[in-house]
């Protein structure tokens, strides 16, 4: 099992690395924006981040391959004839999955995000990035005293959908909240600014009596200075933060929003909702999604092992291609939940941070049932 795990992790790590190399590093090499030494450094920094994905895939594939061969060669029948139960046979493998999950936790919580940040810094130094690339779909990004949340950043980098802007007064108090169905982001290199325009904007201002409406259905422009922040902001994407940094970001948003305002707007269901709660949910939901994702990913190896062992026995095949194809199908199912959760970060009412746990629960429950049936010879 260890030998199969090492082989599959090596193969999947190489495939995932190749995708990143072709997407970013090769482009820099062709344009002579990076040296071979810089490219090698970038690849080394990517390895821990890639391992956080390839270890669960490798554990699942190894379980399918090993126990498919084990069953096809009639070794399971021989073990049962000798009075050895399936549970006794797989106990070391389950302990191995727990150890690999602990390794994944170390990678997901700290090592992989830190290496990813260092990789982004390296790529940023090697290529000139347009200021609009500082924004990411579904992630709040702080620029100066503004926090911008765009539900969708189009490929051109200039057109935005579902735009929300929080303007801060100092470090701990909200000054203005603006939201609109669309927006545009343009660069002003002469002034070292980006100009954000929110179309058909609705706004509230935080005054002595609380939050009150300030404008309705009009365009509002924000000139934002990013010259001194571009590099640091590029490297603090929520998806690249460590678990500790995510907790700090969550506490920061909770502190900044503060007490409930006087204005009571309507939520998506048409029910009254305090504005502070709406702002809190809009800003903290992406952070919660990535916090829960890091923890859920750490337990993926256990669920994959539980479901991979009985499926390998049922497949009863020696061929490697069958095991790999089954593993890829299961991985597609697993990560579809993660993609769905990340797509719903702009909809706090749907609790997307809980969706990342569903595949773990499903795989572990299905695997436990299949193992119980396989142990009884069903």
Contact present, 263 and 212 (Cβ < 8 Å): yes
Structure tokens at 70: 């084990």
Residue at 172 is within a domain: yes
Residue 128: pLDDT above 50?
no
pLDDT tens string 269-292: 555 556 666 777 778 888 889 999
Q: Give the total number of structural domains in the chain.
A: 2
The sign one gets for the Cα dihedral 58, 24, 112, 45 is positive
CA–CA gap between residue 349 and residue 282 (Å, rounded): 10
Same domain? For 46 and 139 the reply is no
Same domain? For 63 and 150 the reply is no
More confident residue, 120 or 91: 91
**Given its phi and psi angles, is residue 258 left (phi above 0), alpha (psi -120 to 50 degrees) or beta?**
left
pLDDT for residue 260: 45
Structure tokens at 364: 């572990």
Query: Do you know the residue count of the chain?
Result: 378
Contact present, 221 and 197 (Cβ < 8 Å): yes
Same domain? For 7 and 122 the reply is yes
What share of the chain has pLDDT > 70, as a percent?
Answer: 82
Same domain? For 258 and 298 the reply is no
**Backbone φ, ψ for residue 245 (5° rounding):** -65, -35
Same domain? For 267 and 254 the reply is yes
Same domain? For 200 and 251 the reply is yes
Same domain? For 256 and 296 the reply is no
Same domain? For 123 and 149 the reply is no
pLDDT tens string 304-326: 999 999 888 887 666 667 778 88
Which residues are 19's β-sheet partners? none
Which whole-number Å values give the CA distances from 53 to 105, 162, 287, 378, in the listed order? 11, 31, 20, 33
Spacing of C-alpha 312 from chain mean position: 29
pLDDT for residue 358: 93
Same domain? For 173 and 217 the reply is yes
Burial class (CB in 10 A: 0-12, 13-18, 19+), 123: buried
Contact present, 361 and 375 (Cβ < 8 Å): no
Range of the structural domain that residue 312 is part of? 2-127+290-375
Residue at 114 is within a domain: yes
Q: Which contiguous run of DSSP H or E holds residue 175?
A: strand 173-188
Residue at 280 is within a domain: no
Contacts of 188 (CB under 8 A, 6+ apart): 194, 195, 223
pLDDT tens string 19-38: 877 777 776 676 565 678 88
Residue at 223 is within a domain: yes
Residue 264: pLDDT above 60?
no
H helices within 199-351, ranges in order? 230-234, 243-257, 275-298, 300-315, 320-343
CA–CA gap between residue 141 and residue 239 (Å, rounded): 11
């Amino acid at each position: 099992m260890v030998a199969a795990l090492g082989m599959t992790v090596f193969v999947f790590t190489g495939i995932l690395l190749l995708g990143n190399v072709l997407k970013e590093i090769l482009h820099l090499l062709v344009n002579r924006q990076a040296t071979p030494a810089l490219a090698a450094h970038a690849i080394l920094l990517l390895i821990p981040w890639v391992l956080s994905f390839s270890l669960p895939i490798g554990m699942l594939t190894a379980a399918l391959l090993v126990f498919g061969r084990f069953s096809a060669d009639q070794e399971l029948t021989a073990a049962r004839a000798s009075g050895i139960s399936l549970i006794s046979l797989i106990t070391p493998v389950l302990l191995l999955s727990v150890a690999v999950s602990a390794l994944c936790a170390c990678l997901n919580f700290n090592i992989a995000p830190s290496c990813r940040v260092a990789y982004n810094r390296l790529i940023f130094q090697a290529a000139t990035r347009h200021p609009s690339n500082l924004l990411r779909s579904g992630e709040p990004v702080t620029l100066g005293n503004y926090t911008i949340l765009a539900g969708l950043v189009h490929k051109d980098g200039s057109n935005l959908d579902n735009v929300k802007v929080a303007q801060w007064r100092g470090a701990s108090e909200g000054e203005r909240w603006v939201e609109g169905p669309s927006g545009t982001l343009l660069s002003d290199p002469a002034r070292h600014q980006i100009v954000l325009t929110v179309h058909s904007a609705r706004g509230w201002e935080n005054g002595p009596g609380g939050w009150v409406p300030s404008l309705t259905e009009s365009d509002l422009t924000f000139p934002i200075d990013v010259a001194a922040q571009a590099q640091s902001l590029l490297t603090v994407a929520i998806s690249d933060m460590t678990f500790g940094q995510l907790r700090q970001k969550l506490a920061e948003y909770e502190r900044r929003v503060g007490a409930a305002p006087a204005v009571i707007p309507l939520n998506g269901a048409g029910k009254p909702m305090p504005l502070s709660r709406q702002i809190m949910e809009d800003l903290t939901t992406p952070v919660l999604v990535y916090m829960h994702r890091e923890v859920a990913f750490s337990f993926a190896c256990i669920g994959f092992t539980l479901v991979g062992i009985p499926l390998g026995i049922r497949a009863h095949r020696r061929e490697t291609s069958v095991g790999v194809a089954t593993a890829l199908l299961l991985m597609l199912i697993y990560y579809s939940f993660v993609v769905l959760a990340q797509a719903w970060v702009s909809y706090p009412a749907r609790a997307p941070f809980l969706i990342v746990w569903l595949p773990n629960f499903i795989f572990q429950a299905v695997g436990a049932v299949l193992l119980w049936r396989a142990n009884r010879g069903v």
